[in-house]
């Protein structure tokens, strides 16, 4: 049986992350009756490593919760896993498009501002650099 910090070392996560997973129900450690400390077993090590790998593939913690639920209900999580990642791929594609557009706007703005002098506050405009963008 492992404590929080022991698990965190074995499974390569921070103690804060471990505690977070416990809070949201991804891990359900038993407790040391003497001091209330959380106690983890070998399956918890596997679960934390799983969480890290899945996070690295773009799964959210609630996605992972769903996978755990399937698994502990004796069902194969694999179809859900394929569905979820397809969704995350779509979302990420959209986010990339948006961030690329933002990057372009920022680049253009800075380029333009480099050749503009500072404006002094006149009680009217706040910052004419930004207010000059359209």
Partner DNA sequence: ATAGACCCTGGGTCCAACACACAGGTCAAT
Partner DNA sequence: ATTGACCTGTGTGTTGGACCCAGGGTCTAT
Q: Which of 15, 9, 89 is nearest to 45 (CA)?
A: 9
- With CB under 5 to 8 Å by kind, the binding choice for 101 among DNA, its own copies, none is none
Phi-psi region of 95 (alpha: psi -120 to 50; beta: other; left: phi over 0): alpha
| Single residue of 35, 36, 74, 115 touching its own copies by CB under 8 A | 74
CB of 48 to DNA, least distance (A): 11
* Interaction between residue 85 and DNA (CB under 7 A): no
* Interaction between residue 96 and DNA (CB under 7 A): no
What is the Cα gyration radius of the chain? Answer: 24
Tokens describing residue 127:
């910052």
Sign of the CA dihedral running 110, 111, 113, 114: positive
- Comparison of 35 and 124: residue with beta carbon closer to DNA: 35
User: Can you tell me the distance from the alpha carbon of 108 to that of 95, in angstroms, rounded to the nearest whole number?
Assistant: 20
- Comparison of 80 and 120: residue with beta carbon closer to DNA: 80
Residues that bind its own copies (CB under 8 A): 46-47, 50, 53-54, 56-59, 67-68, 71-72, 74-79, 81-82, 85-86, 88-89, 92-93, 95-96, 99-100, 102-103, 105-107, 109-110, 113-114, 116, 118-121, 126-131, 133
């Amino acid at each position: 049986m492992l404590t929080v910090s022991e698990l965190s070392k074995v499974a390569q996560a921070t103690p804060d992350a471990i505690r977070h997973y416990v809070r949201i129900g991804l891990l359900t450690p038993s407790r040391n009756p003497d001091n209330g400390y959380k106690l983890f077993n070998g399956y918890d090590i596997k679960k934390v490593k799983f969480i890290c790998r899945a996070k690295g593939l773009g799964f959210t913690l609630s996605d992972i919760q769903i996978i755990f639920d399937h698994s502990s209900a004796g069902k194969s999580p694999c179809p859900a896993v394929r569905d979820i990642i397809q969704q995350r791929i779509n979302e990420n594609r959209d986010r990339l498009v948006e961030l690329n557009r933002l990057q372009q706007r920022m680049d253009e703005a800075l380029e333009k501002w480099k050749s503009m002098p500072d404006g002094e506050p006149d009680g009217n405009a706040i910052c004419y650099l930004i207010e000059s963008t359209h």
